[in-house]
Amino acid sequence: MKHMLFHPFEIAFCGYSGSGKTTLIASLVRRLAVQFSVACYKHGCHHFDIDRPGKDSWTLGNAGAGTVMISDPEKKAVICRHAEAPGVLERQVFSGHDMLFVEGLKELPLQKLLLVDKERKILDLLRNGTVSNVCALVAPDDPVDYADSGVPVFHRDDIDGIAAFIENTLLRRSLEKTPLYGLVLAGGLSSRMGHDKALIRYHSENQLMHTASLLQKYCGKVFLSCRADQCETYRQFNIPMITDAYLGIGPMGGLLSAQQAEPEAAWLLAACDLPFLDETMARRLIMQRNPLRFASAFRNPDSGRIEPLFACYEPKSRSRLILLHADNRNSLSAFLEHSRFEELTPPNPGTLRNINTPDDYPATEANRKEHGSR
């Protein structure tokens, strides 16, 4: 997201000291942690030290170590003494979580819940523009008394109401600001099939066009992912192409290339060797997609395997995928298994069957229908 400071789904809690920020955040974390992974960032105006003279971490830092990590079986702490680019460390630390609660930083352009003090002094900062991007007030008294505020108002004890508001606000922001594009994966070598799988005709159109037509019903734009040497063959189909910028790493290269071209988009991937995909599956994926996760994907209940090649990847997945690629780990299945993703159950597992060899090839329309009905 273009205006992200520390996390794509961040919201700040601002108010004067004693207004109950930490108490409210803790209550909301307990409420939301049932469904989401929540990270917290507490910004303090005063200097602090988690290591003290005589401690090993202090000794190592004093000797000149720029960064020291303290670790035990349950937790880790990182102490950095040299400034990195603003927000870089925070974005790396928080990236694995669904949302981030920030305590403080009322001067930064974060969406904010403003905690009203008993004297209502904080409202002066709201009126004079010192505090901006306020999406709701949290008050210690009757919310009706703030009817002219222009934003929703919650009593500070209404934890369920505030939690629902935060969840809906973050989801709505994603759906409004994040376009959903489709990507037909056709860059494979088709070595086991013996000829181009994208050009096989299981339906009235070849598989490339059939898959693109399916995605076009749900995506703002649809692109074809392919190798540069395939462009001449596929140009006749008039589908905009994104050629592989990451070579030799399979489907992850297609996704990374698409994310490089359109980094603000969420990408709905569909491989061209999944001829049984239908609108029921596409609607299930779109309707149950969770933008707060890295991705949304089906797990086949028959095999237990995740299907990474008919899945929706959110913009936040890009940085983690790049790090995995840099570490020569280029499996989308492994990425999903080790990341927070929305796990979906397919209404018909047979629709996830792929066709990779002539022996898998459904010889007749009757065979296709028979398999789809299982």
Which pLDDT belongs to residue 48? Answer: 62
Helices (H) and strands (E) in the chain, counts: 12, 15
One domain, residues 148 and 17: yes
45: containing domain: 10-176
pLDDT tens digits, 49-80 = 666 787 877 787 778 787 788 888 888 877 77
Distance CA 112, CA 110 (A): 6
Which residues are within 8 A (CB) of 273 and not within 5 positions of it... i.e. 6 or more apart? 188, 197, 207, 354, 355, 356
* pLDDT confidence band for 368 (50 / 70 / 90): very low
On whether residue 104 sits in a domain, the answer given is yes
Q: Is residue 60 part of a domain?
A: yes
Query: Measured on CA atoms in the order 286, 288, 289, 294, is the torsion positive or negative?
Result: negative
Spatial separation of the C-alpha atoms in residues 54 and 321, rounded to whole Å:
40
Q: Which residues pair with 222 in a beta bridge?
A: 182
Residue ending a domain, among 151, 176, 201, is 176
- Tell whether 298 is covered by a domain: yes
d(CA 229, CA 135): 50
Asked which of 176, 208, 238 is the last residue of a domain, the reply is: 176
Per-residue pLDDT band for 3 (boundaries 50, 70, 90) equals low
Q: Look at residue 258 and tell me if it is in a domain.
A: yes
Chain CA centroid to CA 294, Å: 3
Instruction: Provide φ and ψ at 365, rounded to 5°.
Output: -60, -35
- Rounded Cα distance between 234 and 139, Å, is 60
Q: Do residues 251 and 269 share a domain?
A: yes
Tens-digit pLDDT profile for residues 7-25: 889 999 998 888 889 999 9
Q: Express the helix, strand and coil content of the chain in percent, nearest 5 each.
A: 35, 20, 45
Same domain as 353, residue 223: yes
Confirm whether 229 is domain-assigned.
yes
250-278 mean pLDDT: 95
pLDDT digit string (tens) for 174-228?
Answer: 888 899 999 999 966 665 565 688 888 888 899 999 999 999 999 999 999 999 9
In a domain, 130, yes or no: yes
- Are 142 and 185 within one domain? no
Q: Average pLDDT, stretch 19-32? A: 94
The reply to whether 171 and 193 lie within a common domain is: no
User: What is the CATH number for 202?
Assistant: 3.90.550.10
pLDDT category at 240 given cuts 50, 70, 90 is very high
Task: Give the neighbor-by-neighbor strand order of the sheet with 112-115.
Answer: 38-42, 99-103, 10-14, 112-115, 134-139, 153-155
What is the pLDDT at residue 195?
63
Q: Are 169 and 230 in a shared domain?
A: no
Q: Which pLDDT value is given to residue 255?
A: 97
Token pair belonging to 218: 């749900």
Are 147 and 167 contained in the same domain?
yes
169 with 242, same domain: the answer is no
List Cβ<8 Å contacts ≥24 apart for 138-144. 138/15, 138/24, 138/113, 138/114, 138/162, 140/20, 140/116
Q: What is the pLDDT of residue 197?
A: 83
pLDDT higher than 90, residue 359:
no
Q: Domain boundary residue among 157, 176, 195?
A: 176
Report the C-alpha gap between 283 and 97 in whole angstroms: 26
Give the per-residue pLDDT at 23: 93
Same domain, yes or no, for 32 and 139? yes
| CA pair distance 252, 332, nearest whole angstrom | 6
Indicate the pTM of the whole model: 0.85
Whether residues 157 and 188 share a domain: the answer is no
- pLDDT value at position 360? 66
Q: How far is CA 247 from the centre of its chain?
A: 24
Does residue 341 register a pLDDT over 60?
yes
Is there a contact between 255 and 320 (Cβ–Cβ < 8 Å)?
no
Tell me, yes or no, whether 169 and 191 share the same domain: no
CATH number of the domain to which 28 belongs: 3.40.50.300
H runs (alpha helix) in 262-309: 279-288
In a domain, residue 3? The reply is no
Report how far residue 162's alpha carbon sits from residue 168's, in angstroms, rounded to the nearest whole number.
10
Domain shared by 32 and 107, yes or no: yes
Cα–Cα dist 338/258, whole Å: 22
Predicted local confidence at residue 367, as pLDDT = 41
What confidence tens digit (pLDDT) does each residue in 162-171 have?
999 999 999 9
117 within a domain of the structure (yes/no): yes
Structural domains of the chain, count = 2
Q: Are 121 and 16 in contact (CB under 8 A)?
A: yes
The confidence band for 155, taking pLDDT boundaries of 50, 70 and 90, is very high
